[in-house]
Structure 1
Amino acid sequence: PPVGAAAGAGAGAAGNFTRNATINYELDKTVRHTRGAPGAVKRLSVAVAVNHKRPPGSDGRPGKPVAPSAEELKRIEDLVRESVGFNEQRGDTINVAAASFVLSEVEALPETPPWQDPVTIALAKEAGKYLVFALIALLVWAKLLKPVFEMFAAAAQRAEAERKAAATAAAARQSVHAGGIQAGRPFEDKLQGARDAAKQEPKLVADLIKEWMGGNGT
């Protein structure tokens, strides 16, 4: 076909074609949560003071203080580094130094008088309670109980005295009654009684007869 005709046909077809395109740009989003361990150590600062040594003297007693050597301090520093977990990148620092721990003499406290001693005061208060109870019991005994006991004792004594008096009176009545019976006995009984008395107490009867004879002679 002719060249002009083909070109015209191609131009007409291109003019009738339409193309639409939509491009979307989206961003991906990633969220991360990082939780650190609780109580994390940011940095360590360690200071160690090493006491001076006191080697014993010839007498066995502690001598003068002697500072530790540099080698000893280095060994102590290395030991501290290993024990605390030293980390130079974290900024940790360690300082080991020698120092003399001087023991100052303890000043003696003044003696406390017994009347100001808290222990003595507490004991005195406790003893005072029992003393008050004892005094109250003594007063109750002296004012109330003792008079009652004395009253009962006096009543018992009076009852015993009355009993003895009654017994004595009864014995006297029996004696009088027996005497009255003896007064009415016949003369022979009296004579026999005198004989029996002379046998039992001859000396007494002889003295009695002498008194009678002496009385008749006068």
Structure 2
Amino acid sequence: TKAGGRDAAGAASDERLDVQNRVEDKYRQQLVQLLTPLLGAGNFSAEVQADVNLDETQATRESYDKQGTLRAETGNWTGNQASATAPGGIPGALSNTPPPASTLQVPTPAVGASGSPQPVAGGGAPDPAKQSDQYQRAYDLGREVSVTRAAPGSVKRLSVAVVLREPEKGRRTAMEVNQITDLVKSAVGFDANRQDQVTVISKKFAGAAVDADAGPAWYDNSWLPVLARNGTAIVIALLVLFLGVRPLAKALMKKRDDAPTSAPALPGMAQVAAPVSLDQLEQSRGYDERIGAVRGFTRDNPARAALAVRDMIKADK
């Protein structure tokens, strides 16, 4: 049926593609193993296109030996021995003249037939006593039959293309490219009779994605999760410090500053200095005493000290 024919054709096409892919992968792997130690991984690109013959052929040849071997010989002859020895006729007459010598013919065996007898006329040497003779000889001919069967999968034509990565500094010389071309031809079994084609060029690669020596991406590094975890912990600690600890410390400091100064000091504790008022500043007489009073007043009343400084600046203007 037509459907069965299409299925058979599809299976044959799939088999052809599978064999072609295996052959091309084999040649490509050979090129990778050859050029990687020489150029480095990622510094070249190789492609192979193979034209594979999947036709199965069979040839039979039959030949014969040119010189046959005599296997059997039979023959007979007729004649009168007495008539050959007894005198007859008139001496000197024409009737006593012996007949001319007969010409022998070499038997020719039939081509392709073994042991077929062929009649031959004549014997070894002319014998006047014989009037007729007949021989049959059979020859054995050597026969040779050879059968040649070619298995499918042979390569009819091979095309190889290799692109070399151009160095960052300088260019590859023509001699270097020719040497690599010779190596590629030797690796794939270049055959000019099959019209094989091998092309090797040197060009700059576009982008760094082809570079296999480049390290992994930054997001694939193993230290990135550790760094993220530590950074998160530091951020949380800073938030707790600024949003929790610092306001609490400010509240405690303010409560301590607002505590009454008249509280009796406990034994062993340092005396807390009393806040300085404006009257004390005016009553200060010595320079050192006045400087200390100003410092205490500024410490205890920063807002009023700022206002005083502002008034002094305005007065100077």
Structure 2 length normalisation: TM-score? 0.23
- Larger RCO, structures 1/2 (Cα 8 Å, 6+ apart): 2
Greater fraction of residues in strand: 2
**Structure of larger gyration radius:** 1
Structure 1 length-normalised TM? 0.31
